[in-house]
Structure 1
Amino acid sequence: MSKIELSVLFKKIQKDDKKEVLEFHVQGDELEHSDELVQLAGNIAVLEVKNSETDPLTAEFKSIQRDSKKTALKFNVRGDSEDRVIKLYSLAGSNVTLFLEPSQMSIEEFQDATEAHEGIDYSVDKDGTVEVVDGQLSLDDIPSGEPDDVNFDDDDLLN
């Protein structure tokens, strides 16, 4: 499948805790490349907005919805692309040229990358109890009280 070029209305950007949702509308009842778009839906796509200051984005092509007046294209972009998505905010609400092509990334690779995070290593038991690996800072290690009342050395907490 080759690169698809569409003239669309960049309807909105909606931020979620793990992703950003980009929505584009193709006006009219005729949709160029409709078969290719239907095949691409549900997969990972590389999308690029012409004349934007951002590099192409890898996104999950979440859905394609048609009605009598428009076709809505929805994409989920991972949180690690947030700095590139921010550059698109100025284009929301305007007509843009959108380029789409299939990605080499699988949906599993995309979702695994979304769920990976840095932080405390832990596991959750069947009863819901969380077990934290020994040697990590816990709430019990942090002094309580007002900041002026607490005397401690930051290095003591790290050792």
Structure 2
Amino acid sequence: MPKVELKVLFKKLQRDDKKEVLEFHVMGELLPHSETLVMMAGNMANLLIGDSEAGTIPAEFKSIQRDSKKTVLKFEVKGDSEDKIIKLYPYAGHNVTLDIEASQMSIEEFEEAEEVHEGLEYNVNTDGTVELEGQVSIDDLPFGEPDEVNFDNEEITDDDDLLD
């Protein structure tokens, strides 16, 4: 699919615990490249916003909504793009040029690549507590004031012995 360039109002950059949403408004009844944009909705896209230093940002094209005055384009940022998003804050609330290009990856491929990690094996007890192999218990820790604790059961004669 071709790259789409639009003059938009960068209406909102909304962030919560799980996602970051970028919202753009195209003012007026006429939407340039409307067919292409409708075909891209619901898929992954690469965004380039104005002359920002953020570079290309991978995002899911969540929705396109039209009414008589404007068209609203919503994108959900994907991947580890926190540094890039911070660079966009000065552009929010301003008119910018938005370049949208269809991504080579599908949403499923992108989410699979994002979720790959080793993890830890654990057991859940009937009382709901979790046990990890090699986990330290509070009972295993020495007690007392830090100056009083002797980890190797050696006699400590002065503070210099603590440093060795």
Asked if TM exceeds 0.5, the reply is: yes
TM-score by length of 1: 0.77
TM-score by length of 2: 0.75
| 1:29 lines up with 2:33 in the alignment | no
Structure 2 unaligned regions, length at least 5 = 152-164
For the residues of structure 2 that align with 1:152 and 1:102, how far apart are their CA atoms? 62
Percent identity over paired residues: 55
Q: Which has the larger radius of gyration?
A: 2
Cα drift, residue 15 of structure 1: 0.9
1:121-136 matches, within 5 Å, as 121-122=120-121, 129=128, 133-135=132-134
Give the stretch that moved more between structures: 144-153 or 32-41: 144-153
**CA RMSD between the two structures:** 3.2
Question: Matched residue of 2:51: which SS?
Answer: coil
For the residues of structure 1 that align with 2:45 and 2:148, how far apart are their CA atoms? 52
For the residues of structure 2 that align with 1:74 and 1:39, how far apart are their CA atoms? 14
For the residues of structure 1 that align with 2:78 and 2:56, how far apart are their CA atoms? 13
| 1:112 lines up with 2:105 in the alignment | no
Q: Assess if the C-alpha contact under 8 Å between 1:25 and 1:73 holds in 2.
A: yes
Q: Assess if the C-alpha contact under 8 Å between 2:11 and 2:93 holds in 1.
A: yes
Per the alignment, do residues 141 and 57 of structure 1 end up closer, same or farther by CA in structure 2, a change over 3 Å counting?
Answer: farther
How many residue pairs are counted as aligned between the two chains? 150
Q: Assess if the C-alpha contact under 8 Å between 2:26 and 2:70 holds in 1.
A: yes
Cα drift, residue 146 of structure 1: 9.9
For the residues of structure 1 that align with 2:129 and 2:96, how far apart are their CA atoms? 47
Cα drift, residue 67 of structure 1: 1.2
1:82-97 matches, within 5 Å, as 82-97=82-97
Q: Assess if the C-alpha contact under 8 Å between 2:52 and 2:88 holds in 1.
A: yes
Structure 1 unaligned regions, length at least 5 = 154-159
